[in-house]
Chain A
């Protein structure tokens, strides 16, 4: 059974860079599915940030594309998120998730989430 665990700083200063890692356990990150990041501001709904395939192919949310980079490290069996030029609007619980391939496109496994607060 695949399990995911997010890790990274819980506090980031405005204009800084938010960096998170998602550790994949129970299977190889090279399995035939995509990997995604999703966030949820306090008291609000879910927002898809982007998806990543183990070969490095990525797709990003157009509203965040200029600030987002996702990457995979096969040797460590984890994938990462970098979000630059953060502001208070980026304060959220950040989830990593396993995403089934088309046509399903479902996020079938989620990490527990990690709260990132943007504040001076």
Chain B
């Protein structure tokens, strides 16, 4: 079982805002990273640390953390945002990495 909990599925209307969450006690002490994965492709990093985005990731994808919950917010969702999103961080020991179970985002 994962130490990071995500909702299995979320949907959003085209152009609307959606928040994907990741819960875990270790998030109080370690930063969260977020990955986007489309079918048949390797994941790509979309947000990490204090809302940092790798080159090429649009600024409508943002990240934040409050207490034990990290959030990935997509403002003005586009069809190309439809994908699975995974969070990752350290576990409670700090020695190992863990992933959330993933959230499948559907853009309606």
Q: Do A and B bind each other?
A: yes
Could you tell me if B98 and A107 are in contact, using CB atoms closer than 8 angstroms?
A: no
Supposing A45-B101, A46-B86, A48-B88 touch, asked if A107 and B96 sit within 8 A by C-beta, the answer is no
Stretch at the interface among A13-21, A25-33, A75-83, A98-106: A98-106
Rounded to whole angstroms, the CA-CA distance of A57 and B70 in the bound complex is 29
B2: chain A residues within 8 A (beta carbon): 45
Pairwise interchain contact B43-A110, C-beta atoms closer than 8 A: yes
A contacts with B, residue count (CB < 8 A):
24
Mark each residue of chain B from 23 to 48: 1 if its CB lies under 8 Å from any CB of chain A, else 0: 00000001101010000001111001
Q: What number of A-B contacts does a CB cutoff of 8 Å give?
A: 64
Residues of chain B with a CB closer than 8 A to A36's CB:
97
In the bound complex, do residue A106 and residue B86 qualify as a contact, i.e. CB atoms below 8 Å apart? no
* Alpha-carbon distance A107/B97, docked complex (angstroms): 10
Chain A positions within 8 Å of B, measured between CB atoms, are 36, 38, 45-48, 51, 59-62, 95, 99-100, 103-108, 110-113
